[in-house]
Amino acid sequence: MNTENHSQTAAFLWSIADLLRGDFKQSQYGRIILPFTLLRRMECVLEPSKATVLAQAQEHSNKPDLVRERLLLRASGQQFFNASPLSMATLSDTQTSEDLMSYVQSFSKDGREIFEHFEFENFVQQLANADLLYQVVQRFAATDLSPGRISNFGMGIIFEELIRRFAESSNETAGEHFTPRDIVHLTTSLVITGQDDKLKPNNIVTIYDPTAGTGGFLSEGDEYIQSISDKVTVSLHGQELNPESYAICKADMLIKGQDVTNIKLGNTLADDQLAENRFDFMLSNPPFGVEWKKVQKQITDEHKQKGFDGRFGPGLPRVSDGSLLFLLHLVSKMRDTREGGSRIGIILNGSPLFTGGAGSGESEIRRYLLQNDLVEAIVALPTDMFYNTGIATYVWVLSNHKAAERKGKVQLIDGSQHFAKMRKSLGSKRQYLTDEQIDELVRLYGRFEETPQSKIFPIDAFGYRRITVERPLQLNFQTSPERIEKVLEEKAIQKLDAPAQERLLAALRSMDASLLHRNREQFSKLLKKTLNNHDVFPGTPELKALLNALSERDPEADICMVKGKPEADSGLRDNENVPLGESVYDYFEREVKPHVPDAWIDESKTDALDGEVGIVGFEIPFNRHFYVFQPPRPLEEIDRDLKACTDRIKQMIEGLSA
């Protein structure tokens, strides 16, 4: 059956939704069409073995559930069975809902569970209340979805088409669970292109998505591999948080004849239900900029207790954005390079490229990924590509078995101008990638050459050392009335009792108010002597408070010294980012010293990993590398425009006063 027929079948199934108009919201159509399509397909698949299964069900009715389940699965020859004599065509028109639910309850465990997550019973009740249930059931019963007419693969395409229509009809939430097909197609092509070693006949290839949604990436990966190689078995694995999306994904896998026990429900970050598995290809579009507060304890515990034996060894990003956690999770599931390694395609927004300065969790994660040579390419996508956001997004391609010419290098590809305008926007999605544009981007990636759209960098190009530049503290001191006023604002002085405060103020007022002292040591001695003469014996906190209140910064003053070394002025402290691989001292002599000759590097600030002066940071300033300078227009032209504008305003004013 060709693709056109698949689209026709999908369109026919979706047209059954016409019955629902008026009684149901458009965003609910999919909640009815999808489970009914699944039910009809399962029924058609089980048709040939139905009699055998019913006979066995009778024979083994007194056996324990688990044993009976195993025997009936064997009898059905499928991943599921149904032990009810009913079918959609034979449901009674008087008690349709009771019959239908008893029919659905007779499926094996995985099948039943899918209908539970669809909240099928609830919708069946609503259909019954609207007097529509029997009609809907009859329509589906009359549709031939048998494997002889539509292969598992074809049925997968039909189901995908229905999922897409559902996502588009309820596009207020679509973006959370559904990645547009053009993006899926591009990401999959980038990850699987050129992987002939893995796709030899009789190989088994595994694909995984930790944020599986409705299963779009898994289906596309399967489809892509089937289209370019014969006799390769593709095994799909995923985990999804949203029960409804999980049900759709699992139903899709069931329809395709995949092992549905590899699709899990739950939070991947807090509870990885495929913890022991490693995969050949991984594809993911985690939610953009979603906070991970709910699972903060589990993740922080894993980071602290397991370190690099867990998933989050390199560091943790800020709580407001968990996308880098998904990236680390995927990296932890890469196969050993001796077993052929793994490739990852993940869609992220801009912040993972550059948020967080040197030493931050984000920077340490980038550092780990880049220094372990895992980042192969990053492709910038156009804006307005997703249903629920118009922001700039990027596809990261990672690999732990890079081709020789890619080792130690990262390719950046600017695909932001590759787009076509949609005739009708869907939510925030106003643009899409055509097949030709996808091919062009995949070719840019495959050629691995420098062009205006493709740039290649050594890994160190993204690294820097942040050094702290200090300058000396220079203060003058004076006992003027204004400065004495400030003394009373100091906490340490406020703690003294009233007589002590009085004696202190008298001592200060006895000093020459016009004299400006430019040496802290000399002034301290004079101050202590004067206070002692007035029976005031300050401790360290009081003395510090006095010097603070009576001083002002003064570039003409002597440098304040501590233990024979200049004291740093925290107000003048500055940071410099030195490109990785360059000596921080050479950089300092060349870039800093000529402008501030009295500055020095704070050598106590060293990197936690390599112990050298300066804290290492990594960022990928994507746009900077593709920036093209646009010269401003000539002044005469701007003047001409301004004159025309003012003339027009003058005419309008004259028109008003006429």
Mind listing the pLDDT tens digit for each residue in 210-257?
999 888 899 889 888 988 887 899 999 999 998 888 888 888 888 788
Q: Is the pLDDT of residue 513 over 90?
A: no
Cα(367)–Cα(618) distance, integer angstroms:
6
Inter-residue contact 111 to 137 (CB < 8 Å): no
Q: What is the DSSP letter of 567?
A: P
650 three-class SS: helix
Q: Is the pLDDT of residue 551 over 80?
A: yes
Q: Is the pLDDT of residue 630 over 90?
A: no
Q: How confident is the model at residue 328 (pLDDT cuts 50, 70, 90)?
A: very high
pLDDT given at position 4: 60
631 DSSP 8-state letter: P
**Residue 658: which pLDDT band, with cuts at 50, 70 and 90?**
low
- Bridge-based pairing of strands 463-470 and 600-601 is antiparallel
Q: Are strands 551-553 and 475-477 parallel, antiparallel or unpaired?
A: antiparallel
Residue type, 548: N
* Distance, first Cα to last Cα, the chain: 77
Q: State yes or no: pLDDT of 441 exceeds 50.
A: yes
Say yes or no to pLDDT of 174 above 50.
no
Pull the structure tokens for residue 90: 């034979």
Residues 6+ apart with CB under 8 A from 450: 456
Q: d(Cα 212, Cα 245) in Å, to the nearest integer? A: 8
Q: What is the mean pLDDT of the chain?
A: 89
Count CB-CB contacts under 10 A for residue 644.
9
Domain residues of the chain, as ranges? 1-148, 475-566
DSSP, res 392: -
User: Is residue 602 within 8 Å of 574, Cβ to Cβ?
Assistant: no
Give the DSSP H or E segment for 466: strand 463-470
Residues in Cβ contact with 92 at an 8 Å cutoff, skipping those fewer than 6 apart? 99
| pLDDT for the residue numbered 178 | 67
**Measured between alpha carbons, how far is 455 from 414 in angstroms, rounded to an integer?**
9
Q: For 651-656, which contacts have Cβ atoms below 8 Å and span 24 or more sequence positions?
A: none
For the residues 606-627, what does the mean pLDDT come to?
A: 90
Residue 152 has pLDDT above 50, yes or no: yes
Write the secondary structure of 344-359 as one string of H (helix), E (strand) and C (coil): EEEEEECHHHHCCCCC
> What tokens appear for 236 in the block?
């799909």
Residues 6 or more apart from 507 whose CB is under 8 A from it? Answer: 530, 531, 533, 534, 536
Q: Report the Cα 629 to chain-centroid distance in Å.
A: 31
Q: Which helix (H) or strand (E) holds 233?
A: strand 233-240
Q: Which secondary-structure segment (H or E) carries 204?
A: strand 204-209
pLDDT at position 2 is: 54
**Residue/partner pairs of 419-424 with CB below 8 Å, 24 or more apart:** 419/382, 419/385
314: helix, coil or strand? coil
Specify the pLDDT at position 268.
93
In sign, the C-alpha dihedral spanning 355, 359, 363, 365 is: negative
Q: Phi and psi of 513, rounded to 5°?
A: -70, -20
Res 175: pLDDT: 47
Please state, in angstroms and as integers, the Cα–Cα distance from residue 303 to each residue in 294, 297, 298, 550, following that order: 16, 10, 9, 49
**Is pLDDT above 50 for 143?**
yes
Tell me the pLDDT band of 275, cut-offs 50, 70 and 90: very high
Beta-strand pair 204-209/281-284? parallel
Q: Give the DSSP H or E segment for 300.
A: helix 296-306
Confidence band of 3 (pLDDT split at 50, 70, 90): low
Q: Is the pLDDT of residue 54 over 80?
A: yes
pLDDT at 383 over 90: no
Q: Please tell me the least confidently modeled range out of 108-122, 170-184, 430-444, 468-482.
A: 170-184
Residue count of the chain: 658
Average pLDDT over residues 524-540: 88
Q: Within a 10 A sphere around the Cβ of 525, how many other Cβ atoms?
A: 11
Nearest to 346 by CA among 173, 190, 160: 190
Q: How far is CA 455 from CA 173, 448, 622, in A?
A: 36, 9, 10
- 455 burial (CB, 10 Å; 0-12 / 13-18 / 19+) is middle
More confident of the two residues 586 and 197: 586
| Cα separation, 547 vs 591, whole angstroms | 34
- Under the banding of pLDDT at 50, 70 and 90, the label for residue 327 is very high
In the prediction, which pLDDT does 73 show? Answer: 85
Q: Where are the beta strands (DSSP E) in 597-649?
A: 600-601, 615-618
